[in-house]
């Protein structure tokens, strides 16, 4: 089992954290997540560590999920990175949470979901699947974790849609969330961190930005999981 986990605030404490913050929605209904203003800047060293981890994960996740991209879903590393930076900042997740979520993410996409005839549209979106994996890792690693209402505030998605995606991911993981710490550490070293040398070329490659499905975290809930 995991050791030295960072404490995650419960709902009341989370409410105290977000109280007074102004979460505004851009005129673009596809922005992910909604813009946060008036937040206190974290320490520079902390920003650098989390940004480096987010870069590594964004490249890793993009490489796995890019084959499922389409005209509406953009699984490029640049698109994923912007999302991860915001979600990591808002959820205040630990490195263990992020790495375990990435492990779940890879396991889900290694289950050959692309071969399924009735694949739900949200499963093609790396940001939605990673968010679901982060929720699962948070629940597994922390006794006091966020409620779906909290995750709704963090992500901009409706709680019912978050629950639907979480259940789908749990099914793909066969409800097996426990990973020995030694195995996760070995996976992080030999698999996740080996993508580090690809970072400079990937994050500086210009891509045309599309108005894609996976940026609709502020759209009406009826549009979120609609097949296209």
Distance, CA of 63 to CA of 40 (rounded, Å): 33
Closest-CA residue to 32 (of 222, 159, 218, 189): 218
Residues 42-203, CATH architecture: Orthogonal Bundle (1.10)
DSSP string, 50-88: HHHHHHHHHHHHHHHHGGG--SS----HHHHHHHHHHHH
Helix axes 95-109, 159-172, angle to 10 degrees: 60
How far apart CA 225 and CA 214 sit, in angstroms, is 10
Integer Cα distance of 175 and 166 in angstroms = 11
Nearest-angstrom CA–CA distance, 83 and 133 = 14
Task: Let me know: does 123 contact 113? Beta carbons within 8 Å.
Answer: yes
**Phi, psi (rounded to 5 degrees) for 222:** -65, -20
- Model confidence, pTM: 0.69
List the pLDDT tens digit at each of the 228 positions of the chain.
444 444 344 444 344 444 444 444 444 333 445 445 455 555 565 556 667 899 999 999 999 998 888 878 899 999 999 999 999 999 999 999 999 999 999 999 987 765 666 788 899 999 999 999 999 999 999 888 899 999 999 999 999 999 999 999 999 999 999 999 999 999 999 999 886 544 434 333 333 343 344 444 433 333 333 323
State how far Cα 193 lies from the chain centre.
Answer: 18
Distant-in-sequence, close-in-space partners of 17: CB < 8 Å, separation ≥ 6: 9, 92
Is-contact 156 217, C-beta < 8 A?
yes
């Amino acid at each position: 089992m995991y050791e030295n986990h960072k404490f995650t605030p419960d709902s009341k404490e989370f409410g105290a954290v977000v109280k007074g913050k102004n979460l505004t929605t851009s005129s673009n209904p596809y922005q992910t997540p909604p813009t946060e203003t008036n937040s206190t800047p974290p320490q520079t060293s902390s920003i650098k560590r989390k940004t480096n981890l987010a870069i590594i994960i964004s490249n890793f996740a993009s490489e796995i999920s890019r084959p499922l991209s389409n005209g509406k879903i953009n699984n490029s590393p640049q698109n994923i990175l912007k999302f991860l930076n915001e979600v990591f900042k808002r959820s205040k997740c630990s490195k263990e949470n992020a790495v375990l979520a990435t492990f779940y993410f890879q396991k889900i996409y290694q289950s050959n979901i692309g071969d399924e005839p009735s694949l739900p549209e949200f499963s093609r979106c790396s940001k939605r699947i990673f968010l679901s994996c982060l929720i699962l890792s948070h629940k597994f690693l922390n006794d006091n974790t966020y409620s779906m209402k909290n995750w709704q505030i963090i992500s901009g998605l409706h709680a019912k849609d978050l629950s639907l995606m979480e259940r789908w991911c749990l099914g793909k993981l066969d409800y097996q969330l426990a990973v020995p710490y030694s195995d996760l550490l070995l996976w992080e070293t030999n698999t996740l961190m080996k993508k580090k040398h690809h970072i400079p070329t990937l994050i500086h490659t210009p891509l045309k930005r599309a108005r894609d499905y996976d940026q609709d975290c502020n759209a009406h809930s009826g549009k979120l999981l609609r097949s296209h």
